A and B are shown apart, each in its own frame.
Chain A
Amino acid sequence: QVQLQESGPGLVKPSETLSLICTVSGGSISHYYWSWIRQPPGKGLEWIGYIYHRGSTKYNPSLKRQVTISVDTSKNQISLRLTSVTAADTAVYYCVRGVAPYSGYDRGDYWGQGTLVTVSS
């Protein structure tokens, strides 16, 4: 059974960089797309972007200037970096397998439990 686990600081100061890691177990990250999705407290889901195991990426246009997603196949990990954060970036961040607009990969079939990141001084 594929399992995803997000990890990283729970508190980030405004204007600094948010960095999270998703570790995948129970399966290889190869040949799949991997997304980050976030959910502000009490609000809905927002797609941040995806990466293919070979490194190609696509980002939400509204976040494109802030976001970098990378992959480390040797560690079975996907990383998220979000620069110049503000309080509006406070959210639960989920690592998800899929959510790329390609047949068979277009839905999120495995989700991490999510990690809350609060942006505050």
Chain B
Amino acid sequence: QSVLTQPPSVSGAPGQRVTISCTGSSSNIGAGYDVHWYQQLPGTAPKLLIYGNSNRPSGVPDRFSGSKSGTSASLAISGLQPEDEADYYCQSYDSSLSGSGVFGGGTKLTVL
């Protein structure tokens, strides 16, 4: 059971917009820790997609956006493309675990 909760799967047609939620609690996201998002394409290592809740590293398209509110965060992907099909993970920290890093269980995005 992951500390951060994500839906196991989401799907959308090319060109559509999808969102992936990441739900935490008062000891992690709600405690003020930033949320980061990673994209893991099949057979590859995760790649940083969004950092500090809503910032994109250089090279990440602006179709990807992140937000945080209260004890939850969201990743939005607009203008879906076939190459967006991947697993997505949120990451933060938890004060009840002495500041340990914690991940969501991951969400599989299928582009129909």
A and B found bound together: yes
- Which A residues contact B (CB, under 8 angstroms)? 35, 37, 44-47, 50, 58, 60-61, 94, 99-101, 106-109, 111-114
Q: Tell me how far the C-beta of B1 lies from the nearest C-beta in chain A, rounded to whole angstroms.
A: 11
Enumerate the 7 nearest inter-chain pairs by beta-carbon distance, A residue then B residue, closest first. Answer: A47-B101, A107-B36, A107-B51, A111-B45, A101-B93, A44-B106, A45-B103
Are B101 and A109 in contact, with the CB atoms below 8 A?
A: no
> Known: A61-B97, A107-B91, A109-B51. Contact between A47 and B102, CB under 8 A?
yes
CB-CB contacts below 8 Å: B29-84 with A = 33-34, 36, 38, 44-48, 51-52, 57
Known pairs A35-B101, A107-B36 / 14 extra A-B pairs, C-beta < 8 Å: A44-B103, A46-B103, A47-B103, A60-B97, A60-B101, A61-B100, A99-B101, A100-B101, A101-B101, A106-B36, A107-B91, A108-B48, A109-B57, A112-B45
- Which B residues contact A (CB, under 8 angstroms)? 2, 33-34, 36, 38, 44-48, 51-52, 57, 89, 91, 93, 97-106
Chain B residues closer than 8 Å to A111, beta-carbon distance = 45-47
Chain B residues closer than 8 Å to A44, beta-carbon distance = 2, 89, 103-106
Are B36 and A45 in contact, with the CB atoms below 8 A?
A: no
> Known: A107-B91, A108-B91. Contact between A113 and B101, CB under 8 A?
no
Q: Tell me how far the C-beta of B60 lies from the nearest C-beta in chain A, rounded to whole angstroms.
A: 12
Are B36 and A108 in contact, with the CB atoms below 8 A?
A: yes
How far is B92's CA from A47's CA once the two chains are assembled, in angstroms?
A: 11
